[in-house]
């Protein structure tokens, strides 16, 4: 008996039926300051497997349809944090967003994150974001001589700030915050998350300084607890909780008699460590200024000064740590 054979048309139909590809419309907000002061939406239709990511769709557009499309990406695997963008109105990482998860039957809107100046298409000026990050001193600060062995820390103490170590500085949280949209002077959730990571580290000795910096009118008290940041974080960090913990640390440190004063002479005995007052010292007689006059608490002027390199107090050995 003869074996049935498929015609060429049948084979093509069968292949089409088995093909995972679907046609998807990407609606991208384009901006090129060399062409126009106005941003405008542009549609692109591409064939894509729904199991692919939005980043793959952007690559197809850039490589096959329009080489001028501009966006950032580096690792393409959710590590570097460079491709945060607004996808269907929500801040997400393009490399972690699957087409099938965002209703590909409708046009997929892609635009730059909000609150930062758009330079071109999906690329924003990240400098204000990174300046706020630098302002909170995101590195280990210790006093005294370098130890001859590693600094020990219990598992419980490490657990205290484990969540905030996961930050990849993508800015999805900060650029989803309505307070940051309205006033770019606010430090923003990401800077507070990275301050939290060191404030609650039992090995660090500059928690008091960081709290002082965040006690600024542009600091933690600007947070309105809208939870946008927590929803936006691609690393699942409990951003709002971290901000609340920093607020609580600011309130509880009130019980430290030395807080908020600047002293001459020997270092105060008051120790603030791991997010709590570890030891309360005596009032030194040589109080020379209250907090409002401290150069570390001079609001925008203080931040500007820190931007120019005056970020750390004398007497602290500064050590950068990736731990
Ligand atoms: S806290 Fe989350 S959303 Fe914010 S910068 Fe870090 S990783 Fe991104
Ligand atoms: S490209 Fe690195 S996180 Fe998406």
Q: Is residue 94 part of a domain?
A: yes
> Which pLDDT does position 179 carry in this prediction?
96
Q: Is residue 290 part of a domain?
A: yes
- Among all bound ligands, the one having the nearest atom to the CA of 173 is 1
Q: Is residue 14 part of a domain?
A: no
Q: Which atom of ligand 1 is nearest to the CA of 239?
A: 1
Say whether both 280 and 139 belong to one domain.
yes
The reply to whether ligand 2 has any atom less than 6 angstroms from the CB of 169 is no
Full residue range of the structural domain in which residue 83 is found: 19-124
Say whether both 204 and 110 belong to one domain.
no
Say whether both 292 and 264 belong to one domain.
yes
Say whether both 90 and 181 belong to one domain.
no
> Which pLDDT does position 286 carry in this prediction?
31
Say whether both 131 and 120 belong to one domain.
no
The reply to whether ligand 2 has any atom less than 6 angstroms from the CB of 72 is no
> Which pLDDT does position 312 carry in this prediction?
33
Q: Which atom of ligand 1 is nearest to the CA of 229?
A: 3
HEC per residue, 78-144: CCCCCCEEEECCEEEEHHHCEHHHHCCCCCEEEECCCCCCEEECCEECCHHHHHHHHHCCCCCEECC
d(CA 304, CA 307): 5
d(CA 89, CA 87): 5
Q: Is residue 114 part of a domain?
A: yes
Ligand 1 pocket by Cβ (under 6 Å) = 81, 167-173, 189-190, 193, 232-233, 235, 237, 239
CATH number of the domain encompassing residue 25: 3.10.20.30
List the beta strands (DSSP E) in the chain: 22-30, 40-48, 84-87, 90-93, 108-111, 118-120, 123-124, 141-142, 261-263, 271-273, 276-279, 287-290, 317-318
Say whether both 85 and 109 belong to one domain.
yes
* DSSP code of residue 313: -
Say whether both 158 and 281 belong to one domain.
yes
- Ligand 2 centroid to 84 CA: how many Å? 8
The reply to whether ligand 2 has any atom less than 6 angstroms from the CB of 73 is yes
Region of residue 87 (phi > 0: left; psi between -120 and 50: alpha; otherwise: beta) = beta
Say whether both 42 and 164 belong to one domain.
no
Q: Is residue 191 part of a domain?
A: yes
> Which pLDDT does position 255 carry in this prediction?
56
Q: Is residue 6 part of a domain?
A: no
**Counted domains in the chain:** 2
Burial 18-52 (b: 16+ CB within 10 A, else e): eeeeeebebebbbbeeeeeeeeeeeebebebeeeb
- Ligand 1 centroid to 265 CA: how many Å? 40
> Which pLDDT does position 253 carry in this prediction?
77
- Among all bound ligands, the one having the nearest atom to the CA of 232 is 1
Say whether both 111 and 252 belong to one domain.
no
d(CA 165, CA 229): 16
> Which pLDDT does position 78 carry in this prediction?
97
Which segments in the chain show pLDDT lower than 50? 259-270, 281-302, 304-323
The reply to whether ligand 2 has any atom less than 6 angstroms from the CB of 74 is yes
Q: Is residue 323 part of a domain?
A: no
CB-based contacts of 151, cutoff 8 Å, min separation 6: 142, 203
> Which pLDDT does position 75 carry in this prediction?
98
> Which pLDDT does position 98 carry in this prediction?
98
Read off the pTM.
0.78
- Among all bound ligands, the one having the nearest atom to the CA of 72 is 2
Say whether both 163 and 77 belong to one domain.
no
Region of residue 103 (phi > 0: left; psi between -120 and 50: alpha; otherwise: beta) = left
């Amino acid at each position: 008996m003869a074996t049935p054979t498929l015609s060429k048309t049948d084979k093509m139909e069968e292949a089409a039926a088995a093909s995972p590809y679907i046609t998807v419309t990407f609606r991208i907000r384009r901006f090129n300051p060399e062409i126009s002061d106005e941003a405008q939406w542009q549609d692109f239709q591409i064939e894509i497997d729904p199991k692919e990511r939005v980043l793959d769709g952007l690559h197809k557009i850039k490589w096959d349809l329009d080489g001028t499309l501009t966006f950032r990406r580096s690792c393409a695997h959710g590590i570097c944090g460079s491709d945060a963008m607004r996808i269907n109105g929500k801040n997400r990482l393009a490399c972690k967003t699957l087409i099938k998860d965002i209703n590909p039957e409708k046009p997929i809107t892609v635009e730059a994150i909000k609150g930062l100046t758009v330079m071109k298409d999906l690329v924003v000026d990240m400098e204000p974001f990174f300046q706020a990050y630098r302002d909170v001193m995101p590195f280990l600060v210790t006093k005294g001589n370098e130890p001859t062995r590693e600094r020990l820390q219990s598992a419980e103490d490490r657990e205290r700030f484990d969540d905030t170590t996961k930050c990849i500085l993508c800015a999805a949280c900060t650029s989803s915050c309505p307070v940051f949209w309205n006033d770019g002077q606010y430090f923003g959730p990401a800077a507070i998350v990275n301050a939290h990571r060191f404030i609650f580290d039992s090995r660090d000795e500059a928690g008091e300084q960081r709290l002082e910096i965040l006690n600024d009118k542009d600091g933690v008290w600007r947070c309105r607890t809208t939870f946008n940041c927590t929803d936006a974080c691609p690393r699942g960090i409990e951003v709002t909780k971290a901000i609340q913990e920093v607020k609580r640390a600011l309130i509880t440190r009130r019980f430290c008699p030395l807080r908020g004063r600047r002293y001459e002479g020997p270092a105060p005995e008051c120790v603030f460590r791991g997010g709590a007052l570890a030891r309360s010292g005596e009032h030194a007689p040589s109080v020379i200024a209250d907090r409002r006059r401290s150069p570390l608490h001079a609001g925008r002027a203080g931040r500007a000064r820190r931007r120019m390199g005056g970020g750390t107090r004398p007497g602290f050995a500064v050590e950068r740590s990736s731990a």
